Structure 1
Amino acid sequence: MKTNEAARELIKKSEGLKLNAYICPAGVPTIGYGSTFYPDGKWVKIGDIITQEKAERMLDYTLESFEKQIRYLLSRELNHNQFSALVSFAFNIGLGALKKSTLLKKVNTNRWDPSIRNEFNKWVHAKGKVLPGLVTRRKAEADLYFTKS
């Protein structure tokens, strides 16, 4: 299963496009639509500059990597919207955090458990503060997750 267009656009809107490398709120050099590494495996470094076309290719590569890992973490089949919402979520918080999350445990137990929405909403903090952008993103991810396809 691949990330659907709704989640891809959510990621692009949430991450924004930056053609010059910058330090993200987590302190990591980032470029494009939130990419931290290139398809050749090299890490982004401050001073790097890319084109929008390269940013799109990097997003594709990063999404493929996340899709593969998320398929491995799932113990049940999800619909396209559920899978894609998890890709967007993991793209933002990281696969390690998803792997340890109660959200994933609940998805793997009962993919329609209404409390899954609350699990998305727990991930809105950075450095102890609620970030409005994360509140908006988590709501969009949860809405996508619960949209039957």
Structure 2
Amino acid sequence: MIRRVTDNARGLIEQWEGLRLTAYTDSVGVWTVGYGHTGPEVHKGYTITAPQADQLLTNDLAGSEQAVSSLVNVNLNDNQFGALVSFAFNLGAGALQSSTLLKRINKGDFDVANEFLKWDHGHVHGHLVEIPGLKTRRKAEAKLFAS
């Protein structure tokens, strides 16, 4: 059975992603709708309802929940799990898999706030730049992980 994020963690993910019922391009130029949903069906002018956004988030989170469950080999409390799911949801499971964050956690080192903060950049017009919203999100994920 797949482990799910708590309502608290899901609420924070919803807050960080924001709800947009009409497709928009995110900070790195990807067409996005709902709570951070991307995919081939999302394009300019694409619209959904709030219940559809909720269902898309549930479906999208399942992949990140599975990834965290598979990649982490130590016990996590609900907040630690939720913080890592948020990280994987936002950046992709591959980013988590290759991160020093994961390596340290899997060694039992939970003092990893600085590792979250390393992931506050994105590619904009071919350049890697610090994105203020990502910095804020990483700080919030680190705080959730530590609680």
State whether TM-score is above 0.5. yes
Query: SS at the partner of 1:9?
Result: helix
How far residue 141 of structure 1 moved from its aligned partner, in angstroms, is 0.5
Query: SS at the partner of 1:135?
Result: helix
| CA distance in structure 1 between the partners assigned to 2:28 and 2:95 by the alignment | 13
Unaligned runs of 5+ in 2: none
**Amino acid of the structure 2 residue aligned with 1:122:** K
Relative contact order: is structure 1 or structure 2 higher (C-alpha 8 Å, sep ≥ 6)?
1
| CA distance in structure 2 between the partners assigned to 1:124 and 1:141 by the alignment | 12
Residues 93-112 of structure 1: pairs in structure 2 closer than 5 A: 93-112=91-110
Of the three residues 47, 50, 58, the one matched with 1:49 is 47
Q: Which runs of 4+ in 1 moved over 4 A?
A: none
**Which residue number in structure 1 is paired with residue 72 of structure 2?**
74
Q: Does 1:143 find its partner at 2:143?
A: yes
Of the three residues 26, 33, 36, the one matched with 1:34 is 36
RMSD value over aligned CA atoms? 1.4
Number of matched pairs: 141
Q: How much identity, in percent, do the aligned residues show?
A: 47
Q: CA offsets per residue over residues 58-104 of structure 1, 9 Å max, x none? A: 00111112111211111112111111100001111111111111111
Q: Does 1:124 find its partner at 2:120?
A: yes
Task: Give the alignment's TM-score, normalised by structure 2.
Answer: 0.88
Unaligned runs of 5+ in 1: none
